[in-house]
């Protein structure tokens, strides 16, 4: 039996190329490696911790599913479903809440960062890592693909496993973090800031037309030096563009630098925009079709739910018996 990988795709607005390279592309590669049984879910519960418009959130959840399918997540190779459609996620989280110290949650780095950004604290925001532990352990995952910012959450999951097993008997294995080599894509107009939908001028959305992509890339900041080089410390703006070219073309960074040796910024940007639009074209074409075919998207998600639900129910039945529920 192949080891299980579980990962959530959080629907929180229009996706950009940083999301694609750091999340969707990685998920597809793990799926296609044929080394794991992959469970991917649309993390709609996780997306409710900030104030939102319900109609907009429903649209975001649907678009996240569309983007996942368009990027290449294959329901024949992976189990993909919506988190809230499998109620056992919340049920298991409640049981884990009873063995998780509040102080541990208050000390989570991401929680403190959210508060420092001005987000109003709520119980869901505080409890986010416990629900994440339930997401992972419900399917007895052995590996969890995460970026560096989520490493602490996986460690909390491991602590939950130890506490649960000590108190109620051996039930779960401690999952290991698979640290994805997600590139840190910076804003095109401010290379000191990570690419974000909150800075639309420097953000390349997956839905941007070729014309918009060309215009944004054309306006991307560079520096006063000449030549294409990769030195994130000394030349962050140009290095960011080189990184994007490398990720979309599959050409290693040293070869990108060599390829554009002696080439001016204008020509390099033209080719960068071309490689991005060319790579995104199949994604955008499939996305356009799926956005209009809600029946197909929802039926595919429902099929995923039917695969995930029995596994979740089996785990919950085992847990309920262990903790003394009747």
Please pick, among 194, 281, 294, 321, the residue that the annotation labels catalytic: 194
Of the residues 25, 114, 216, 269, which is catalytic? 114
Per DSSP, the residues of 85-97 read GSTHHHHHHHHHH
Identify whether 173 is a catalytic site residue: no
197 is catalytic: yes
| Set 57, 77, 197, 322: catalytic member | 197
- What one-character DSSP code corresponds to residue 47? G
Strand partners, 205: 16
Contact assessment for residue 157 and residue 144, using Cβ atoms and an 8 Å cutoff: yes
**3-state helix/strand/coil string of 222-284:** CCCCCCCCCECCCEHHHHHHHHHHHHHHCCCHHHHHHHCCCCCHHHHHHHHHHHHHHHHHHHH
Find, among 298, 246, 295, 296, the residue nearest to 268 by Cα: 246
The question of whether 294 is a catalytic residue gets the answer no
Q: 119 φ, ψ to 5°?
A: -70, 135
Q: Which positions are annotated as active-site residues?
A: 114, 194, 197
């Amino acid at each position: 039996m192949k080891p299980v990988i579980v990962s959530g795709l959080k629907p929180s607005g229009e996706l950009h190329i940083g999301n694609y390279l750091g999340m969707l592309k990685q998920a597809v590669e793990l799926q296609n490696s044929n080394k794991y049984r992959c469970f991917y879910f649309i993390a709609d519960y996780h997306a409710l911790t900030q104030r939102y418009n319900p109609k907009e959130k429903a649209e975001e959840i649907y678009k996240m599913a569309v983007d996942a399918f368009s990027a290449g997540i294959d329901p024949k190779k992976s189990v993909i479903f919506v988190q809230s459609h499998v109620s056992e996620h919340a049920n298991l989280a409640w049981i884990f809440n009873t063995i998780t110290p509040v102080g541990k949650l208050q000390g989570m780095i991401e929680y403190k960062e959210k508060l420092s950004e001005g987000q109003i604290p709520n119980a869901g925001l505080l409890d986010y890592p416990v629900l994440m532990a339930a997401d992972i352990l419900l399917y007895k995952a052995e590996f969890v693909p995460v970026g560096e910012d989520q490493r602490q959450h996986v460690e909390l999951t491991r602590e939950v496993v130890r506490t649960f097993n000590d108190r109620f008997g051996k039930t779960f294995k401690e999952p290991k973090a698979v640290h994805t080599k997600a590139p840190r894509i910076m804003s095109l107009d401010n290379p000191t800031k990570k690419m974000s939908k909150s800075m639309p001028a420097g953000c390349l959305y997956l839905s941007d037309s070729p014309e918009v992509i060309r215009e944004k890339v054309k306006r991307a900041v560079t520096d006063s030096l000449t030549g294409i080089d990769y030195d994130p410390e000394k030349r962050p703006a140009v290095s960011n563009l080189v990184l994007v070219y490398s990720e979309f073309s599959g050409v290693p960074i040293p070869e990108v630098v060599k390829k554009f040796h002696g080439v001016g910024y204008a020509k390099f940007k033209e080719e960068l925009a071309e490689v991005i639009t060319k790579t995104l074209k199949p994604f955008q074409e499939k996305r356009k079709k799926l956005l209009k075919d809600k029946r197909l998207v929802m039926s595919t998600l429902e099929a995923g739910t039917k695969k995930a639900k029995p596994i979740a129910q089996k785990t919950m039945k085992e847990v309920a018996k262990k903790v003394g529920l009747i």
